[in-house]
Chain A
Amino acid sequence: MIFKILLAGDGGQGVQTIAELICRTAFEKNLEVTSIPNYGLEQRGGASLAFIQISDKKIGYPKFSHADLLVIFSNQGRERSVQYWGKNTKIIDIKDFKAEIENRKINLQNLNIFFLGVIAKILEKKKIFTVADLFLQAEEKFSKKINWVEIKNILN
């Protein structure tokens, strides 16, 4: 089993934060995992990409040509990730979730958390780890934050 996830958004959207959470969860479940960010010149702004691979066997090269799951957080993220679309890539794009985000009144600052929930459900379906597993890691990381209640709600 090997599953390749590419998260693509703008710097400041929390892409690397949720990449870390996904990886932590996989690691705590004793899975093999690699992650590597893109990085460029600007300290702020610019695209933020995270290449994640989860497997039951040792992973070699940290980057890949085509993602199994591509999560697009922004227009810039979409532009910068086009080359990673493969025939079988499942794409989660923010533009398809506009309605749900509005209905559930999700603060754009917490967009990354919203997508974390979406990703968790997909990974659970693929039997990689469960939403509860991810929730545990998220709780550990965020519970000290003031808006933890809000975050919990979004994840649910």
Chain B
Amino acid sequence: MSEFIPVKFCNGCGYPIILMLLNKILKEMDLSAKTVLGLDIGCSLLAWNYLPVNTFQTHHGRVTPTMLGFKRARPSSICIGCTGDGGAYAIGLQGLAHAVKRDEPITVIVVNNTVYGMTGGQVTPTSLHGQKTETSPDGNNDYPILGPEFFKPLANKNAFLARSAVNDPKQMIEYLKKAIETQQAGHFSMIEFLSFCPTHWKTNGIDTINYLNNLKEVFKPGII
């Protein structure tokens, strides 16, 4: 069964890439029925009717505590929380830190485009030093948080924390698989995906890809 649902993500957005690869892996691992996908309120919310998987929206910054609640109630489920860099590292930082610290067996996907997309492109904790946005008109004063690295000291040795990018599908697949296997083994997993945002980067075509590749200089892909 396939139903055509018009895509609400902007042209060139990285979310569809992440979601489609996630779906591919869940299918291959035959986990679609057990999976529950929770969404932050930001661009991630647009995925609410996207995959053939139980999906629900939560509140901005609160997908982590919601998913750990679901998982504790139904340990056989595969709980995935999807959020942006603002939802994960600004308003959701406390929730995420404590989930890592307690080694909650959920998987958090952080889609990092260095801006608050849905509200118009404001600065976030991963905006680069000097990055100009509506709320950093003279260039961002501080330096970006490196999420997985930041949480690593809190993590159980069997937890999985990694970073990839939406133009590295092979790596994305490898990490998504590992993240889910980590959850199945009872530990926390998170992957930060560097993601396209031509709308707020104000880039076209090849410039978008170059912008992303430049981000990799700061946010190093790999297993943390």
Contacts and interface: CB of A to CB of B under 8 A. Distances in A.
Contacts of A14: none
Nearest to A44: B10
Interface string A8-50: 0000000000000000000000000000000001111110000
A42 B9 CA distance: 7
A88 to B, nearest CB: 33
Contacts of A41: 8, 45-46, 118
Contacts of A45: 8, 10-11
B111 to A, nearest CB: 14
* Interface range on chain B (Cβ under 8 Å from partner): 10 to 19
Interface string B170-203: 0000000000000000000000000000011000
A87 B11 CA distance: 38
A127 to B, nearest CB: 39
B45 A43 contact: no
A43 B120 CA distance: 7
B117 A43 contact: yes
B11 A43 contact: no
Query: For chain A, which range describes its interface: under 10, 10 to 19, 20 to 34, or 35 or more residues?
Result: under 10
A46 B46 CA distance: 12
Contacts of A44: 10-11, 199
A45 B13 CA distance: 12
Interface string A78-110: 000000000000000000000000000000000
B74 to A, nearest CB: 29
A84 to B, nearest CB: 23
A45 B16 CA distance: 15
Contacts of B199: 43-44
Contacts of A46: 8
Contacts of B117: 43
Contacts of B11: 44-45
A45 B199 CA distance: 11
Interface of A: 41-46
17 contacts: A41-B8, A41-B45, A41-B118, A42-B8, A42-B9, A42-B46, A43-B10, A43-B43, A43-B118, A43-B199, A43-B200, A44-B10, A44-B11, A45-B8, A45-B10, A45-B11, A46-B8
Given A43-B118, A43-B200, 9 more contacts: A41-B8, A41-B118, A42-B46, A43-B43, A43-B117, A43-B120, A43-B199, A45-B8, A45-B10
Please name the 6 residue pairs, one residue from A and one from B, whose CB atoms are nearest each other, closest first.
A44-B10, A42-B8, A43-B199, A44-B199, A43-B10, A43-B117
